[in-house]
Amino acid sequence: MQNHRKAKYINPFTDFGFKKLFGEEANKHLLIDFLNQLLPAKHQIQDLFYKKGEQLGSGELDRKAIFDLYCENQDGHKFIVELQKAKQNFFKDRSVFYATFPIREQAERGEWDYQLQPVYCIALLDFVFDDHKNGEHYLQNIQLRNDVCEIFYDKLTFIFIEMPRFKKKLEELQTHFDKWLYFIKHLENFDDIPADLREEIFEQAFTVAEIARFNPQQLEDYENSLKYYRDLKNVIDTAVQEAVQEATLEAEQRGVEKGKEQEKLERLQLAIQQGFSVEQIAKLFGVNESEVNRLKNG
């Protein structure tokens, strides 16, 4: 049975929660502190300015799965910071496409030497990449490299944080960045501020996230955002379950006269055709991921 107790703090994986923490001018010091944990020393941020997200070309379909911020620091460096709540087809392609907007907007009229400011695309993911199922690292830092793994171009960086992979316990937190990820992942479940997070920046973040401080309109907006987040998760979970049941039923109907191994094989193949991830299929059918990969690639 689900626990329906009233949360004290917001869910940062909602549109409202993410924007409240990181997307408001009054709270931009929180975003600066978080981003500086990810950036090299030469690109540390002292101040930043929010830019219109419409410049990224976001459509209604994106709004259903993602919330993003577009900002620039005092030196002109561009940052796309996004929260990806649901898996999206061609997500990596979409990330590269989005990166072209802050690159192209740097073009100057007339004579120009093409010198660009750095662009960072930073994504907090509420899922794990299908092609990264067997990995253990929750942080991927990606730049363009040559065939001997030397950095070819260091002004375009993609940083993906797969939040389901971050499993450190409170007593295992070692860095300021660890504390940020723990704060983001567990915020909605906190009743009080843990002693390990009693630092000024986190105490300020807890204050911003406290639902009791919201005015009636903010509370309504948050409740709507939370409902949408929960509905989205339920739709995804239900779709997976129903599709698996449908695939299983079809396999059973076709496999009446076939042996158990052949029937199991057909169920796996149908699930693969339905587009389920290797990890989902392995869990649902109780098989090794290597067996699913062999069928998928065969």
Q: For residue 218, what pLDDT is reported? A: 93
In a domain, 91, yes or no: yes
In a domain, 3, yes or no: no
Domain co-membership, 221 together with 187 = no
How many folded domains does the chain comprise? 2
Domain co-membership, 86 together with 196 = yes
Domain co-membership, 271 together with 133 = no
Among the three residues 214, 238, 266, which one is the final residue of a domain in this structure? 214
Domain co-membership, 86 together with 20 = yes
Domain co-membership, 88 together with 201 = yes
Alpha carbon distance 131, 100 (integer Å) = 24
Domain that holds residue 23: 15-214
Domain co-membership, 50 together with 118 = yes
Q: For residue 243, what pLDDT is reported? A: 63
Q: For residue 190, what pLDDT is reported? A: 95
Q: Provide the residue-wise pLDDT of the chain in tens; the chain has 298 residues.
A: 344 568 999 999 888 898 899 988 999 999 999 999 999 888 888 888 887 755 555 554 444 444 567 888 888 888 888 767 666 667 888 888 888 888 888 888 888 899 888 889 888 888 888 776 666 789 999 999 999 999 999 999 999 999 989 999 999 999 999 999 999 999 999 999 999 999 999 999 999 999 999 999 999 999 988 887 777 666 666 665 666 677 667 656 665 555 667 777 777 777 777 667 778 777 777 788 888 788 777 6
Alpha carbon distance 261, 295 (integer Å) = 14
Domain co-membership, 204 together with 221 = no
In a domain, 1, yes or no: no
Per-residue H/E/C for the chain: CCCCCCCCECCCCCHHHHHHHHCCHHHHHHHHHHHHCCCCHHHCCCCEEEECHHHHCCCHHHHHHEEEEEEEECCCCEEEEEEECCCCCCHHHHHHHHHHHHHHCCCCCCCCCCCCCCEEEEEEECCCCHHHCCCCCCEEEEEEECCCCCEEEEEEEEEEEEHHHCCCCHHHCCCHHHHHHHHHHHHHHCCCCCHHHCCHHHHHHHHHHEHHHCCHHHHHHHHHHHHHHHHHHHHHHHHHHHHHHHHHHHHHHHCCCCCHHHHHHHHHHHHHHCCCCHHHHHHHHCCCHHHHHHHHHC
Q: What are phi and psi for residue 251, nearest 5 degrees?
A: -65, -40
